[in-house]
Amino acid sequence: AAALDLAVIGGDGIGPEVTAEALKVMRAATAAAGDAEIRATEYTLGAAHWLATGETLTDEALEQLRGHDAILFGAVGAAPNDTRIPSGLIERELLLKLRFSLDHGVNLRPSRLYPGVPSPLAHPGDIDFVVVREGTEGPYVGNGGAIRTGTAQEIATEVSINTAFGVERVVRHAFALAATRERRHVTLVHKHNVLVHAGHLWRRTVEAVATEHPDVTHDYMHVDAATIFMTTDPARFDVIVTDNLFGDILTDLAAAVTGGIGLAASGNVNISGTAPSMFEPVHGSAPDIAGQQKADPTAAILSGALLLEHAGRPEAARRINEAVYADIAARGGAGGGADSGAVRSTAEIGDAIARSV
């Protein structure tokens, strides 16, 4: 069998700290499962790299990244109050450029309340859902502008792009995923009572795709109401399909109700296989705890499991998930950093999980 050829973009802040642990655990699981080795090529990119070189993502680096089987991504971005770096520059020219250029149309963000994890909710129930977030469209494409900037007459627009192609592929993916799950249910989350143009495209697409999946039920919820149910009854959700921006916001909320951002994993998937998919924790570079070994690497480790699953290595992925469940149950909560008062360092958590895969 061939080695798995990964690109690793640690990025900024806690990014490199958590990808190091993810790679450690992925290698241990690979050995335990008897899979061919993982080869990793590190790419130095992010806010610090931009400060040092003036480069965000060169065409050359992008072409090199295309050649890997998959990408493990940490986090990028400066502290919100760091005035040396224009806000949005790194996010747009590095992270979003990767998602767009590599055609990551499906952004998978699973949420589970693991046994032993305290939820901020009094009655969380059995939470196990996946947000299938569109990854290449919506207001993220940067279609907009401002006129009369800085005057009292300024007008700024951010146009949300929704194509039949982009909506259909993510909706299809959501239904196909739901068909493999026990409850087989898809909830479209949008705001079609106000966003009538895009909202109706999403709705029609869901109705059309639903006819191909008679075994999958579906319903609809406005995004504002979805935030109510995600805090009052999150166990009701199975697969949520939604646009890029609603998906971004809902998945931080989903992380918060399932034990914190230190546990939330994601995969940016290229469903046509024309470029590598990219797996990353939902959290950012956490400048407030960077460089102190306080970050919980679990989100990155679970993202590594998603990567291995995607790469056709289900046994290694299963081993990681099981080891993480056991570790979380034993620790009684999230593992480090802001979530738990750093009982163990980032590396100690990674070591413990790597030992038990």
5, 97, 220, 252: the active-site residue: 252
What's the token pair of residue 189? 């989350």
Instruction: Give residues 236-265 in contact with Mn ion (rule: CB under 5 A).
Output: 248
The CA R_g of the chain, rounded to the nearest whole Å, is 20
Q: Tell me which stretch binds ligand IPM (CB under 6 A): 88-96, 203-211, 287-295, 304-312.
A: 88-96
Q: Is 248 a catalytic residue?
A: yes
**Whose CB is nearest to ligand IPM?**
91
Cβ–Cβ under 8 Å, residues 94 and 46: yes
C-alpha distances (whole Å) from 259 to each of 25, 168, 215, 314 are 21, 32, 32, 25
307 near ligand IPM (CB under 6 A): no
- Out of 286, 301, 324, 328, name the contact with ligand NAD by CB under 6 A: 286
Burial track 222-244 (b if 16+ CB lie within 10 A, e otherwise)? bbeebbeebeeebebbbbbbbbb
91 near ligand IPM (CB under 6 A): yes
- The beta strand positions in 114-253, using DSSP E, are 128-134, 144-147, 155-158, 185-190, 217-222, 239-242
- Provide the angle, in degrees to the nearest 10, between the axes of the packed helices 314-331 and 15-33: 120
Of residues 48 and 201, the one with the C-beta less far from ligand NAD: 48
Q: How far is the CB of 254 from ligand NAD (least distance, A)?
A: 14
- The answer to whether 133 is a known ligand-binding residue is yes
282 near ligand IPM (CB under 6 A): yes
CA nearest neighbour of 126 among 135, 134, 117: 117
Of residues 171 and 295, the one with the C-beta less far from ligand NAD: 295
289 near ligand NAD (CB under 6 A): yes
248 near ligand IPM (CB under 6 A): yes
For residue 296, the partner it binds in Mn ion, ligand NAD, ligand IPM, none, with Cβ less than 5 to 8 A by kind, is: ligand NAD
CA nearest neighbour of 5 among 71, 57, 62: 71
Q: Is 252 a catalytic residue?
A: yes
C-alpha distances (whole Å) from 74 to each of 14, 23, 100, 156, 347 are 8, 11, 18, 32, 15
Of residues 20 and 261, the one with the C-beta less far from ligand NAD: 261
Residues in contact with Mn ion by CB under 5 A are 248
Residues in contact with ligand IPM by CB under 6 A are 77, 91, 95-96, 248, 282
Q: What are the residue numbers of the active site?
A: 140, 191, 224, 248, 252
